[in-house]
Amino acid sequence: MTAIVADVGRCVGAGQCVLTDPDAFDQSEEDGTVIVLQDSPSDDEALKRAQVAVDICPSRALSLTQ
Amino acid sequence: MTAPALQTTRQCPYAPPEEHTRIRDTDSGISRVTLPSGQVAWALSRLEHIRAMLTDPRFSSDRRDPNFPRFTREQPSFDIMRRSIIQMDPPEHGPARKAVVGEFTVRRMAGLRPRIQEIVDEHIDAMLAGPRPADLVQALSLPVPSLVICEQLGVPYHDHDFFQVRSSALLSRATTAEGRRQAVTELCDYLKDLIAKKAAEPTDDLLGRQLAQGNDPEDVLSLAFLLLIAGHETTANMISLGVVTLLERPEELAALRADPARTLPAIEELLRVYTIAEFANSRVAVEDVEIGGVTIRAGDPVLAMSNAANHDPAAFDDADEIKLDRGARNHVAFGFGIHQCLGQNLARMELQIVFDTLLRRIPGLRLATPADKLSYKDDVLIYGIHEVPVTWEDPA
């Protein structure tokens, strides 16, 4: 199963993942870094959104693993 | 070594200068150009190369490096202020950005929505009550982002004219070195005084909270300076360019008015095609790096021609066309990498509220001067329009 992995150390809090899928991602109130709300995409549409989030993450903090 | 001068004039407002497209279409997509400073820089023009450069730690953002690309002949003086976050490299950058980015999360921006709506409505009320034609730039484009950033930071709005004049001077290529120094000094003195007042009497605004967190007032000064300059003209120019584009496309405008869910994708497309801060992504190499078969040596200045990259046919189908429902978000209009625009989610929200509210409240809005007769900003670092005369029919 595909899993969404976030490297909080790399994250710069741009929030592009939250804009892409607010059900899957959130940001820490304190320092804006990513919080993954759904560890794996629930369906194909969610997977597509996760792929966009990975592609547009400016600090390359997100990845998908099998 | 000689290299052709960097061309900055756009032949079409929503296309990169032809010279940039020509470079992008060469074998490597990379060329040497001479900057207004006299420096010879590598110019990158493809989306893939620019994204690679902006995510590679072997390129530095340190503007004190004499080889950092400059658009002014003189070396700027850096002794007036500490470095702001956009000038820092890791490991210094991460903690400094994290100390403020919590102020700009998607959720924090959503919390500002009611107040931004109020500001937009007040300015539209005033425009409707005034003479026709009105200048959209003065009525709406400039004051809305200006008021929003002033309130967010905790800068009294009655001082916003003061900021307007000086930030415009800083962004204009026509400003002399002396004029630039004077503008920086005056802004700096004003902000120092404001920050001292907030340190003595804490306020619940961005600058006040930065001080309350224990951040050094000198660092808060650099941050305040950065946010005020960045928050003034950029969003204003996108409002003007966006409204002109929409008014020129009645069918797409009608589709937007009928379905507000179309507004955010339209904003992404407008950001992409105009790429108003097209030269904001500059770096200097600190190690030898190979990009696209070209070896960039340590110490070489590198310029990202972001507008050419945002029209790169390898990344966008029919890249030169404006398709308001394209929905592509892989553009670099807000930059890429660790320095990507801190205020981008604020900008998106301001644009969304302005466009939606204008379309709803003034359905009879139209340009009083044809789009091709408007005065576009080819003389400043941030692209835009100087004046946008608009008029409107009274609702039936």
* Average pLDDT score over residue span B253-257: 95
Per-residue pLDDT at B77: 66
Residues of A with CB under 8 A from a CB of B: 9, 12-16, 18-20, 22, 26-33, 52, 55-56, 58-60
Residues A7, B91: Cα–Cα separation, whole Å: 16
Cβ atoms of B316 and B323 closer than 8 Å: no
pLDDT tens digits, B310-338: 999 999 999 999 999 999 999 999 999 99
**Mean pLDDT, range B347-368, rounded to an integer:** 97
Residue B61 has pLDDT above 80, yes or no: yes
- Asked if this assembly's ipTM is beyond 0.95, the reply is yes
Does residue B213 belong to the interface with chain A, where contact is any CB pair within 8 Å? no
Answer whether A58 sits within 8 Å of B98, measured CB to CB. no
Domains located in chain A, CATH noted = 3-65 (3.30.70.20)
Query: pLDDT value at position B236?
Result: 94
| Across A35-49, B81-95, B179-193, least confident range | B179-193
Decide if B388 contacts B135 (C-beta within 8 A): yes
Which of A9, A19, A59 is nearest residue B106 as measured by Cβ atoms? A19
| Nearest partner of B246 among B82, B358, B395, judged by Cα | B358
pLDDT tens per residue, range B96-120: 999 999 999 999 999 999 999 999 9
Least confident of B77-91, B170-184, B212-226, B269-283: B170-184
pLDDT at position B166, please?
A: 85
Site of tokens 């991602």: A25
**What pLDDT score does A4 carry?**
97
Q: What is the mean pLDDT of chain B?
A: 94
Tell whether the model's pLDDT for residue B1 goes beyond 60.
no
Q: Does B101 touch chain A (CB under 8 A)?
A: yes
Domain boundaries, chain B: 18-392
Distance from CA of B158 to the nearest CA of A (A): 31
pLDDT per residue as tens digits for the range B162-187:
887 888 787 776 788 888 889 889 99
pLDDT digits (tens, 9 = 90+) for A16-31: 999 999 999 999 999 9
Confidence class of residue B73 from pLDDT cuts 50, 70 and 90?
confident
- B381 vs B200 pLDDT, higher one: B200
Give the pLDDT band (50/70/90) at residue B271: very high
At residue B180, the pLDDT reads 83
Q: Is B97 near chain A, with CB under 8 Å? A: yes
Asked whether residue B72 carries a pLDDT value surpassing 90, the answer given is: no
State the average pLDDT over residues B216-245.
93
Quickly list DSSP for A41-66.
-SSHHHHHHHHHHHHH-TT--EEEE-
Contact A13 B340 (CB under 8 A): no
Instruction: Give the C-alpha separation, B203 to B205, whole Å.
Output: 6
**Nearest chain A residue to B330, by CA:** A56
pLDDT on residue B396: 60
Comparing B232 with B250, the larger pLDDT belongs to B250
- SS3 state at B394: coil
pLDDT single digits (tens) B26-41 = 999 999 999 999 999 9
The answer to whether the beta carbons of residues B52 and B281 sit under 8 Å apart is: no
Q: What is the pLDDT of residue B163?
A: 81
B18-392 — its CATH code? 1.10.630.10
B316 in contact with chain A, both atoms CB, cutoff 8 A = no
Angle, helix B263-274 to helix B344-361, in steps of 10 degrees: 120
Give the C-alpha separation, B268 to B54, whole Å: 20
Tell me the average pLDDT across A33-41. 96
Mean pLDDT of B369-388: 91
Torsion of CA B344, B150, B103, B53, to 10 degrees: 40
What tokens does B96 get? 């400094």
Closest to A19 (Cα-Cα) out of B271, B9, B192, B320 = B271
Mean pLDDT of B62-78: 85
pLDDT of B78 > 70? The answer is no
